Amino acid sequence: MPRASGPLAEALGRRSLVLDGGLSNQLAAQGCDLSGALWSGRVLAERPDQIEAAHTAYARAGAEVLITASYQVGYDAFAAHGHDRAATTALLRRSVDLAVRAAEAADHEVWVAASVGPYGAVLADGSEYRGRYGLTVRELADFHRPRIEALLAAGPDVLALETVPDPDEAEALLGILAGTGARAWLSYTVEGGRTRSGLPLPEAFALAAGTPEVIALGVNCCDPSEVLPALEAAASVTRAPLVAYPNDGSVWDAATRTWHAPEEAAPWPTAAWRRAGARLTGGCCRIGPDRIAALAAAAGAGPPRGK
């Protein structure tokens, strides 16, 4: 069986697909040391076998899309830890190669999405949950462009422009992709029915509506209760497939580098998400292979929304 029978966008036109879960929590479950500012990027540099093992765990759970370990890999952040530009480029490409190897070993079709995390992720101070970094759209584009170029050179199926807190950053990312022929999904992190930076969601999603490079729009790394209203907001401005991969409802404390879990586990009304248009569904932080296996077992193929 080929790793993937065709472009991800075509597959989304036929059926719903299951994403993987949180990479960092799976690495922690495997005994990896995630201390320090580089987070999972440190494991990518020092223990690539553990990254591949984490991808394999999700593929075995039924994930049909694996997201690479490039979320927090940035040139300046890695330079501060002794990695020159060539070494960081090699790590970005390695992140794709490791996911591809896990995908090729799976017993079902698996696509690879290269993670393009937000600017705030490389700061390791929780900025991705606030946005408004004080940078212009051009400065944000200058930060992201070399990362995206290195990832695209490694040949992923799609880019995951994920955990984006601010439409300014979305504008920068979309500007880089314009006219390249590359394919991506764009997912905001949201709170209270708005982007983390406070913009109404229909306005935020409208930035990418109709953009040919964007094959799906949605949300990730948010409370599960935020997903359905966000999908409905996206559906009000686009007919594109939607994507949803929340965390478990926990809140990240950047000062202590710990998650504060909710008193009660949040429900995951995935059937309602799919009715709203979600064609890519999975998990983010603190969602492991067991939850992905349950999603895969419950997922059913159906006609695209509006057909």
Residue 195 structure tokens: 């982007």
Query: Is 237 in contact with 206 (CB distance < 8 Å)?
Result: yes
| 20-54 pLDDT tens trace | 999 999 999 999 988 877 888 899 999 999 999 99
Which pLDDT does position 113 carry in this prediction?
A: 98
Q: Give the residues across from 200 on adjacent strands.
A: 194
Which pLDDT does position 208 carry in this prediction?
A: 95
| 80-104 pLDDT tens trace | 989 999 999 999 999 999 999 999 9
Q: What pTM did the predictor assign?
A: 0.93
> Which pLDDT band, with edges at 50, 70 and 90, does 122 fall under?
confident
| 147-186 pLDDT tens trace | 999 999 999 999 999 999 999 999 999 999 999 999 999 9
Query: Residues of the chain with pLDDT > 90: what percent?
Result: 78
Query: Is 111 in contact with 157 (CB distance < 8 Å)?
Result: yes
**What is the CA 84 to chain-centroid distance, rounded?**
26
| 50-77 pLDDT tens trace | 999 999 999 999 999 999 999 999 999 8
d(CA 307, CA 299): 19
126: left (phi over 0), alpha (psi -120 to 50) or beta: left
Query: Is 216 in contact with 239 (CB distance < 8 Å)?
Result: no
Which pLDDT does position 307 carry in this prediction?
A: 33
Residue 234 structure tokens: 């996206």
Of 156, 187, 129, nearest in space to 69 by CA: 156
Q: Give the residues across from 280 on adjacent strands.
A: 17, 243
Mean pLDDT for all residues in the chain: 91
Decide the pairing of beta strands 258-260 and 251-253: antiparallel
Residue 127 structure tokens: 């900025």
> Which pLDDT band, with edges at 50, 70 and 90, does 124 fall under?
confident
**What is the CA 204 to chain-centroid distance, rounded?**
17
d(CA 292, CA 274): 15
Which pLDDT does position 302 carry in this prediction?
A: 34
